[in-house]
């Protein structure tokens, strides 16, 4: 059983000029199982990326300063059409740099937003907190807003979409 809470709140951020977004999920699962889905090649490939996309991990070095490199490919007709209309390639290579790794508690990472046509690349910070309880795990995902409201909403929709995939994996 999974419950979802999405908050449009703006929690305090390390950089007070950055707006932050938060999405929360609760799972009837062990913290070890949820952590593994976030921190192993097989786990990440089973759910990462929005619906209609697949992911292949190229490198995973889970430590502060380490990297996650992956290729994300549009596979569903709607996503393929969107990517083509946006002038974006069907497969994008992405690099995540881990800033914090506290096993079973917290992951922090930075992604370079270098895929937006006409936009200079910039960093997007994300933090995932894992809170164990008698009922399972409460997960809190907090991320930077992007350069404008359209892309911020696309990012939120992408996170919500990929978390629905995580929900399905944990429901099995």
Band the pLDDT of 18: cuts 50, 70, 90: confident
Arithmetic mean of pLDDT, 45-66: 95
Q: What is the pTM of this model?
A: 0.82
Residues of the chain above pLDDT 90, percent: 62
Structure confidence at residue 17 (pLDDT): 64
If you count them, how many residues does the chain have? Answer: 172
Residue pair 2/171 in contact (Cβ under 8 Å)? The answer is yes
Q: Is the pLDDT of residue 1 over 70?
A: no
Of the segments 33-37, 112-116, 148-152, which one has the largest average pLDDT value? 33-37
The domain ranges of the chain are 2-171
Burial class (CB in 10 A: 0-12, 13-18, 19+), 117: exposed
Nearest to 22 by CA among 108, 110, 140: 140
Q: Within a 10 A sphere around the Cβ of 154, how many other Cβ atoms?
A: 16
Structure confidence at residue 10 (pLDDT): 36
Q: Is the pLDDT of residue 148 over 90?
A: no
Helix axes 31-39, 149-171, angle to 10 degrees: 130
Does the structural domain 2-171 have CATH classification 3.30.530.20? yes
54, 50, 22, 116: CA torsion to nearest 10: 90
Structure confidence at residue 88 (pLDDT): 82
pLDDT in tens, 116-129: 778 898 899 999 99
**CA-CA-CA-CA torsion sign (61, 65, 71, 74):** positive
């Amino acid at each position: 059983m999974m419950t979802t809470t999405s908050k449009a709140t703006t929690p305090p951020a390390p950089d007070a000029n950055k707006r932050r977004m938060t999405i929360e999920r609760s799972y009837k699962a062990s913290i070890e199982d949820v952590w593994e889905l976030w921190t192993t090649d097989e786990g990440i490939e089973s759910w990462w990326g929005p619906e209609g996309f697949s992911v292949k991990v190229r490198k995973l070095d889970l430590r502060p300063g380490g990297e996650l490199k992956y290729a994300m490919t549009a596979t569903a007709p709607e996503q393929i059409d969107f990517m083509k209309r946006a002038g974006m390639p069907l497969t994008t290579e992405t690099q995540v740099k881990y800033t914090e790794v506290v096993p079973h508690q917290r992951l922090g990472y930075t992604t370079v937003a270098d895929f937006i046509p006409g936009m200079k690349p910039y960093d997007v910070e994300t933090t995932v907190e894992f809170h164990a309880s008698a009922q399972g795990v409460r997960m809190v995902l907090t991320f930077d807003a992007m350069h404008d409201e359209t892309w911020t909403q696309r990012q939120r929709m992408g996170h919500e979409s990929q978390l629905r995939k995580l929900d399905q994996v944990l429901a099995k």
